[in-house]
């Protein structure tokens, strides 16, 4: 068995220090391991320097300083490996639960809200905080650490904002807006300008910044995404017309006219009502893919309940529906003309159908507006009885 001389011990210790290991206790532990291996494996004929240089790579992948970095890590983060395992588990649970919640939500199955709450709670309250702790040590400069930590905090606020929004909890809009604005207009610029100056990070920094800015911009644009102005106006219009019809029924006091005008008005009212019923049938069948026989066999309310959610009229309107709507407008104007002539003092009997833009209405609002016209026709039918 070869014995390591004092000179060789000093040489090994200097080499260990030269390779970046500066912790004294670690130096002597490595020295002890190296000396034991040399004494057990080195033969009398082997060259010490060559054997030592071949032995040293056994202790690292890239360089010997890795051992010191791992030691410092263990000293600084005593529960580092437990934290890494928790990060992996919490991240997997967050992904699975959030995905499961999305699927359950789409199919309106029970348990969707529970999965969402648990998934985002694991993500924002366990996964991201632990990632801050683990990544904080990896960044070289203090600025990088602060920017990275700020980014994770923004992620926590934004994810909680989405959770509050989906669960309809108070404060959702404030959390979402704070998170999205901070991410898009504060974190991304900070990330870009603190890293782009370094040549080795320039390309990745540019690509990451573009992707994050695009993602943040899209999310910010969708923050207050709602109906178009026309659709919002059509909803308000339907509500206004409904109130007007109720007031007309309450306040209308009509003087009688000659029987010829009454009979002509009755015929036009009946014809217009039939055309509206036909148009409503066409719209519902076009949107729900029901046959005429299937539609006639069920109540109108049941057919209405099968309409797709928030489907715009522009998706279902065609030449036949447009032609039917034009005919209804024409018949309504004819009735309005007869009413103005027969009841000059009763201006509230006239229905301003020109204010309804069928093409900009959602399917449901269009059907509501058609029902409003039918309500008005019912009032006229009572008057003309």
| Residue-wise pLDDT tens digits, 311-366 | 545 455 678 888 899 999 999 998 888 888 777 777 777 888 877 877 777 777 78
pLDDT for 94: 92
Q: Which of 229, 238, 219, 248 minimizes the C-alpha distance to 347?
A: 248
pLDDT for 280: 87
pLDDT tens-digit map of 41-96: 888 778 888 888 888 888 877 777 878 777 776 666 666 677 788 889 999 999 99
pLDDT higher for 325 or 235? 325
pLDDT tens-digit map of 137-150: 665 677 888 888 89
pLDDT for 319: 83
pLDDT for 123: 92
pLDDT tens-digit map of 176-216: 889 989 999 999 999 999 888 888 888 988 998 999 889 88
pLDDT for 26: 82
Cα–Cα distances (Å) from 323 to 120, 312, 329, in that order, read 51, 18, 10
pLDDT for 244: 66
Give yes or no for residue 240 having a pLDDT over 80.
no
* Cβ contact 336:311 at 8 Å: no
């Amino acid at each position: 068995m070869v014995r390591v001389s004092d000179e060789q011990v000093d040489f090994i210790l200097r080499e260990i220090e030269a390779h970046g290991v500066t912790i004294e206790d670690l130096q002597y532990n490595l020295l002890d391991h190296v000396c034991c291996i040399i004494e057990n494996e080195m033969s009398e004929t082997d060259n010490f320097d060559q054997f030592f240089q071949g032995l040293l790579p056994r202790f690292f992948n890239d360089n010997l300083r890795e051992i010191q970095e791992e030691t410092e890590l263990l000293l600084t983060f005593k529960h580092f490996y437990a934290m890494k395992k928790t990060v992996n588990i919490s991240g997997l649970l967050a992904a699975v639960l959030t995905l499961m919640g999305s699927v359950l939500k789409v199919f309106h199955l029970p348990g969707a809200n529970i999965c969402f709450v648990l998934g985002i709670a694991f993500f924002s309250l366990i996964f991201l905080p632990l990632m801050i702790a683990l990544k904080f040590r990896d960044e070289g400069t203090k600025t990088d650490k602060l920017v990275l930590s700020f980014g994770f905090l923004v992620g926590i606020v934004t994810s909680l904002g989405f959770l509050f929004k989906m669960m309809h909890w108070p404060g959702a809009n404030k959390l979402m807006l704070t998170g999205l604005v901070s991410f898009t207009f504060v974190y991304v610029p900070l990330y870009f300008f603190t890293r782009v100056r370094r040549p080795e990070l320039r390309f990745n920094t540019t690509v990451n910044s573009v992707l994050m800015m695009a993602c943040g911009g899209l999310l910010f644009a969708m923050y207050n995404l709602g109906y178009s102005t026309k659709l919002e106006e059509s909803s308000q219009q339907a509500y206004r017309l409904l109130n007007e019809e109720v007031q007309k029924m309450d306040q209308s006091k009509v003087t009688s006219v000659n029987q010829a005008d009454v009979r002509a008005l009755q015929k036009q009212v009946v014809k217009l009502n039939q055309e509206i019923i036909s148009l409503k049938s066409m719209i519902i069948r076009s949107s729900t893919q029901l046959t005429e026989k299937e539609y006639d066999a069920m109540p109108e309310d049941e057919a209405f309940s099968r309409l797709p959610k928030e489907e715009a009229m522009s998706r279902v309107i065609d030449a036949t529906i447009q032609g039917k709507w034009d005919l209804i407008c024409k018949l309504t104007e004819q009735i309005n003309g007869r009413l103005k002539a027969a009841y000059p003092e009763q201006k509230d009997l006239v229905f301003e159908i020109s204010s309804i833009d069928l093409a900009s209405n959602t399917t449901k609002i269009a059907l509501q507006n058609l029902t409003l016209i039918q309500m008005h026709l019912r009032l006229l039918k009572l008057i003309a009885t």
